Amino acid sequence: MSLEKLKPYFPWLTLGVLLLLVGAVNPSFLNPASLLQLVADIVPLFIMAVGMTFAIYIGGIDLSVQQVANLVTVIATVYLAQFGVFVTVICIAVGFAIGAVSGWVTTRQFVPSFVATLAMGFIALSGARFLSGERALSMNAEARDASFGWMFGNTGGVPHELIIAALLLALAWFLQTRTTFGRALKSVGAGELAAVASGLNVHRIKILAFALSGAFAAIAGLMFSVKLSGGDANLANGFLILAIVAVLVGGTPLTGGVGGVINTLVGTLIVVVIRSAMVYLEIDATMQQMIFGLILILAIATTIDRSKMRIVK
Amino acid sequence: MTILETSGGKRGRAAIGREVLVKWAPLLVLLVLCGIFALMEPRFLSTRNFARILIAASPALMVAIGVTFVIIMGSIDLSMEGTVSVCAVAFALCFLWFGGTLASWAWLALPITLLVGAALGFINGLIHVKLKIPSFMASLAMGFVGTGLAMVTTGGDRIRIEDELFRSLLTERILNFPLMVYVAGIFLLIAWFIQTRTTLGRNFYAVGGGEDLAVASGLNVNRVRVMGFALAGMFFSVGALLAVGRIGIAETATGNNFMFLSITAVVVGGTALWGGIGGVWNTLVGVLIVFVIGNGMVVIGLPGYVQDGVLGILVILAVILSTDRKSISFVK
Amino acid sequence: MYQLNKVDKTFPGVHALKAVDFTIGRGEIVGLVGENGAGKSTLMKVIYGAYQPNGGTVSIDGTTVRFQNPRQAMDHGIGMVFQEQSLIINLTVMENIFLGFEQQFVRWGVIDWKAMAKAARHQLRKVKLDIDPAMVTSQLSFAQRQLVELAKVLALEERIKGDLVILLDEPTSVLAREEVELLFSLVRELTSRASFIFVSHRMDEVLELSDRIYVMKDGAVVDVVTQAEANVDAIQRKMVGRDVDKEYYREQLQKPYDASKTLVRFDRASVAGKFSDISFDLHAGEVLCLVGTEGSGREAILRTIFGLERPTGGTVDVKGASHCATAQEAVARGVGYVPRERKVEGIVDGMNVYENMTLSQMGRFSTRGVLRIAEEKALAQTWIDRLGIKTPDVYKDCGGLSGGNQQKVVLAKWRSGGSDIILLDHPTRGLDIGAKEDVYDMIREMCNEGAGIVLVADTLEEAIGLSHTILVLKDGIFQKRFDGSPGDKPTLYDLVHHMT
Amino acid sequence: MSTFIKKFIEREKINRRNFLFASAYGLGGAAALGAFGPGTARAALTDPTIAWSYRNRTNPYWNEIVSGGEAFVESLGMSKGALTHLINEGSSEKSLADVKAILAKTSGNLALAIDTNDAPNARPVVEAVAGAGGYASTLWNKTDDLHPWDFGDNYVSHMSWSDEGPAEQTARILLDAMGGKGGVVHLGGIASNNPAIERLQGLKNALKDYPDVELLAAEPADWDTQKANQVMSAFLTRYGDEITGVHCANDTIAYGVLEALRAEGIEDMPIVSYDGNPQAVKLVADKKILATVFTNPHWGGGITASLAYHAATGHFKPSEEPNEHREFYGPTILIRPEDAVEFKANYLDSVPTYDWTDFWGPSNGAIVYK
């Protein structure tokens, strides 16, 4: 097999090598039960990263996801008692709407998505701070268990969180590969002008991509909120950079049109392995960030496919 | 994040009016904002308040100018938080080691800090160019490394710089403005000089305007890129010096919040993220817009929880107003 | 005196240049022709230093040289004027001229703008261009930019000791005829300063300008002819290895159109700033060609039909209903657009053959948004066979196909979707002769199937050869209409006369 | 020589046991996954890993907490390095993920001291630790409906500080210094943090007795020096000379305020703060700050780790302790200029040696919910 053919598998190889390296130093890391738990714990982050993939896939970026998730933790906590499990609908609708506005500002008003989504994030943050009354709120325990208690059970040893993540991934993958929308996304990411010249409604597709990113961020926020049984305007802090890194390490470059949600799965796993490995290998906490950065450079250098990048900017 | 410009080139004379308007739009936005805040709270419009805004804005201006050069090249640099932290810590350690006052050999800490910043930027550029990693990711990772390095160096401690001579950056005033504002002004002029009068500065525009074309013209684009990142790193270190001068403390957190702040400011000022357009004066206006909004909202007494949202809306509006919509077909 | 001696260049799996001998003397203009893939562009890249040959030698005035990059070639007086515009439009004219060579104007680290402007004016005078060197390049016309490029290359003159060799790669492709004439007379004058290598698809121009012509085929030089002995037919035969006769444009296949069936009607239509008061009817089976220079309004008319521009005066009807408001609507109503920038607007580089082919008609291959991919593949396979698209399978990334095959994919996209108003913008641009003929075949075929075609042709010959109707435009205003039935076609002169 | 070899042998033992656990999981396969961890059946742990999870190292407060944790570990005869640090950088997600990772690594053989970064995060952290058979003590953040006694022994204790009272005390000192009239501004912490809310409330309580003092504004400065600096600058524009006193939610905010005032050449503004960081104590001694409140983070950091450790090793059984031993307030010491020198000598220049098994001696009574 030539190097060229192996390229799409570089992210997987990187993940495998990382796992083996860490496992070689500390075999208990490869314990299947703890690995499964490890993966179950990053489900909210993963879902957010999957959503972000849509924005990056069309060549944009969505920096509002973390604040959308923050807002959603507050909404979920405040309205859970009133609406029960249907609070999900409100949360997703809010995420979708914020994403759609970001998309509209980007496509129709020509504000680069970097700035447009950052600014929309600020607006979401304002909403979260207002709605929470600037306090950390906790969910009504009975209401939480009644509506979302099932989320933390197991079926045949598989945590339900993982099943949700798998379903959402399947949905995203189906959208990406099997629907006209997914095809349109790809064409916009790889050749926006050709998409226009083929009569696609490019604006609508882009707005929808950002809206989906927002909706997934909302689901991530909701799950995190239920998991933590509460919400406040800072609860989801720390998600954003990791979500971006997960998408990029997975091999979906910022230029768009390449990669996809499966790549994001690998990327998220790589990120989480690096992070947990720090704990396993007892790396001094003050050095972790530096080492994370260095490994990140290595990981990206090995995972990205440069064949479609004529110019590296 | 790329953009395609319409293959125009035949913009008629009639379009010039609009172009001029777009060019000056950020400044207009700044003036209008000042006007609105002044109407709502007359105290906004005082020399002392402008001094306060400028004190707050000076470090950010330096960082934003640094990243402006990189953005003009069509790249992006997200390493500023790490670089600023490392430079602040390096400065403080050198400064204290050399004697702790500018009157002694400790002044050496100043050029050393600039070198540290430039070196970090240089490494950043090398990773980007040599490993062919897009600058977004390379610099993001380098940012982590920088913050981590500052953390390892200090172990999380804060280092106080008590030297009165160094702190005169903040305490000594000429014509109601503290020295650090003038220092920032001088570096702004230096940046302008680099941008307009040096080969390197002009080559940034060449790379941003058409990298493959620049290569074909025999330009060593990789060298220009690496130099651009090094120059950015040097300006980040100036930002670090001013940040330490303002608070008197160097710590890992010195670099916090500079990333989104500076890039927002650059874009609000009218420099295009896709490269080739804009410059340091745009960045000055952009930084001022962001800080005037921040200061103005507190001055007119907006509740805290509204401030983030208003900032978001105003930033979007400012960018919309300063975008030449006719010249671009899509933006990502 | 520049010389290539038995130069070889191989890439993995490809022998791109086979023992090529090439010489150019002082003040000479040498033409270089060949089909796409014949090795022209590889040869050029070797000459200006972008590629390093695997075998053979390159020598200048008898001294062997080896360039590692274009910059070293420039230092030896070899400059390149690129086919695509290679000026950086956000820089000033003088910056472009001296890009990469600013050091000569730097005093103590500072660029002396006055000195640079003075030097730039000197260069611009060589090409007889009287513009302010401090102007931003984006404000120039295409023709002016071409001259600036030439001036930029000529600036090498003062920097190097030896003679200049200047490569002109398709310099006329964006120029109107009048501008081409200007360029040619300039080049002839400049032979006192430099020698030129002229590369073009436009055979008549090569013949007109060159002292000698190198003909390439399959990576080798198959013939060198002098201007005196050259003729178009002979050269084309050498290039393709077969005859290219009058049937080139398939005139014998041209059938009368169905005048009773109007597809598009322009009635005193205008788009402010682009064209005004244009009237015509496009009928089923008709090829209507818009002739004019760049900016004469040809492209704007196409864009209007495709819903990308809105008429500001008069009416535009598409199939009896009002004009299309958006491109989506146009596509839905059967308009297909084959853009000039094939690689950017025609195909999506990064998507495979079937994905590209159904891009405009995904609705027909999906149920409630879910694609029926098996049907897409079947469709693609059908059209691959029908048009003879050279691709290993339907999964091939279109970015990796040759230009001709890319164009066939684009045409298949519209034809398979049943579009019956086809807008062709320079459909044969950059294609080799074989691929061009295939495109001509397809145009005839579409007409016979009842489609109406609006064509902006790559050359005037093409316009004359292909069309039933020719509209000549100038500065957005209608000049003259020709009806070109076979045997009764307007001449080149007729068209040029009204265009300029 | 002996300690080194002893540690080596101990470590080998742990690794061996971890390895056995790992094999058990491997063999058990999917069937074993459902019952998460064998820990619930485990009564006491031997030689548990001691970990401290906290926000960051850039805040002196957390450095003090950490020094306490390290002092405790050293008291057990181990080196400082034996304490595992988990830094969450202000991310609840990372906080939880790190806890899960270390639980998996140690197979639940863990004594964890933690501030969970955000109150809602406390529940999943405690549930995870309890589920794996580890022992946890929390500091500062937890929601009101979460109680150690609902988790048997595994959720050992929660310590917090009632900041309202001390903040009211400092406020009174401030308001007296202002002569009982004029205007005061408050610069708070991250708005949703409990201490931030309580410290502002303390000021408001005090203000009731000072009708001539107006609370001009209260803005969050996010515990951040730079942000505090900017907010104070803007306050100076808005209120100018109306400001005659500044109430800061903690010391790091006070530093920013002091620098903002210094830039304006204002040297004599009455300021009070909170936390009692060494640098702040020095400023109190210099009368730049009128008062700060020392919460003894060194002790807090040590005792939280100690509680978790000693419960884990069976030194005491948490479920047999009264509720006020499981949720209690930490100590507070008010520092004014006249106390500063003595305080500095007692607490900062030479850190007192604490008896880390005197769990509740310096504490301040059971936590009261409103």
Return the CATH architecture of domain C248-499. Answer: 3-Layer(aba) Sandwich (3.40)
Interface of C with B (CB under 8 A): 69-71, 74, 80, 82, 86-91, 95-96, 99-103, 106, 109-111, 113, 138-142, 145, 152, 273, 295, 344
Strand-strand pairing, C2-11 and C55-60 = antiparallel
Would you tell me how many other CB atoms lie within 10 Å of the CB of residue D43?
8
pLDDT in tens, C376-432: 999 999 999 998 888 888 998 888 888 888 999 999 999 998 899 999 998 887 777
Q: Nearest 5°: phi and psi at A251?
A: 105, 15
pLDDT tens digits for A131-157? Answer: 998 888 888 888 888 888 888 788 877
Residues of B in contact with C70 (CB under 8 A): 215-216, 218
Complex prediction ipTM: 0.85
Is D27 or C241 the better-scoring residue by pLDDT?
C241
Contact map slice: D 339-358 vs A, CB within 8 A = none
Q: For chain C, how long is the longest CA-to-CA vector?
A: 76
Q: What's the CATH fold of domain B50-323? A: ABC transporter involved in vitamin B12 uptake, BtuC (1.10.3470)
A65 contacts A240 by C-beta, under 8 angstroms: yes
What six digits make up the tokens of C132?
């302010």
The least confident of B267-281, C79-93, D61-75 is C79-93
Residue type, A182: G
Contact D292, D281 (CB under 8 A): yes
B9, pLDDT greater than 70 = no
Q: What is the pLDDT of residue C241?
A: 62
From chain B, the residues in CB contact with C74 under 8 A are 218
Phi, psi dihedrals of residue A183, rounded to the nearest 5°: -65, -40
Average pLDDT over residues D136-146: 90
Between CA D146 and CA D135 the distance in angstroms is: 16
Mind listing the pLDDT tens digit for each residue in D236-259? Answer: 988 988 999 999 999 999 999 999
Architecture of domain A9-303: Orthogonal Bundle (1.10)
pLDDT at position B325 is 67
Strand pairing category for C212-217 and C477-483: unpaired
* A297/B143 touch (CB, cutoff 8 Å), yes or no: no
Which pLDDT score, from 0 to 100, does residue A203 have?
92
pLDDT given for residue C156 in this prediction: 83
**Chain D contact partners (≥3 CB pairs within 8 A):** A, B
pLDDT of residue A115: 92
Confidence of residue A311 (pLDDT cuts 50, 70, 90): low
Tokens of C364: 């027909």
pLDDT band with cut points at 50, 70 and 90 for residue A44: very high
Average pLDDT, chain A: 90
State chain B's mean pLDDT as an integer. 89
The confidence band for D22, taking pLDDT boundaries of 50, 70 and 90, is very low
For A255-280, what is the mean pLDDT? 89
First to last CA, chain D: 55
Distance from C-alpha of C271 to C-alpha of C314, rounded to nearest angstrom? 9
Which CATH class, in words, describes the domain spanning C2-245? alpha beta
Report the C-alpha gap between A110 and D164 in whole angstroms.
Answer: 49
Give the closest-approach CA distance of A151 to chain D in angstroms.
13
Domain positions in chain A are 9-303
Instruction: Tell me: pLDDT of B16 over 60.
Output: no
C341–chain A Cβ distance below 8 A for any pair: yes
Question: Range(s) for CATH 3.40.50.2300 in chain D?
Answer: 36-160+297-330, 164-294
CB-nearest to B205 from C86, C90, C141 is: C90
Residue percentage of chain A with pLDDT more than 90: 54
The DSSP result for D77-134, as a single string, is T--GGGSEEEE-TT-HHHHHHHHHHHHHHHTT-EEEEE--SSGGGHHHHHHHHHHHT-
Amino acid at the residue B52 = R
Domain boundaries, given as residue ranges, for chain C: 2-245, 248-499
Determine the residue of chain D that is closest to A140 in CA distance.
D145
Instruction: Give the per-residue pLDDT at D184.
Output: 96
Query: Do residues B225 and B75 make contact, with C-beta atoms less than 8 angstroms apart?
Result: yes
Asked whether B1 and B273 are in contact (CB, 8 A), the reply is: yes
Give me the pLDDT at residue C179, please.
Answer: 80
Closest CA to A226 of A139, A301, A299, A308: A139
Mean pLDDT value of segment C234-238? 77
> B155: which DSSP letter?
T
- How high is the pLDDT of residue D8? 43
Does D36-160+297-330 carry CATH code 3.40.50.10420? no
Beta strands in D7-83 (DSSP E): 49-54
pLDDT of D5 reads 44
Nearest CA in chain A to D80: A284
Token pair 């060549």: residue: A59
User: For residue D219, which phi and psi values (nearest 5 degrees)?
Assistant: -125, 145
Residue D289 has pLDDT above 60, yes or no: yes
Domain D164-294, CATH number (from 3.40.50.300, 3.40.640.10, 3.40.630.30, 3.40.50.2300): 3.40.50.2300
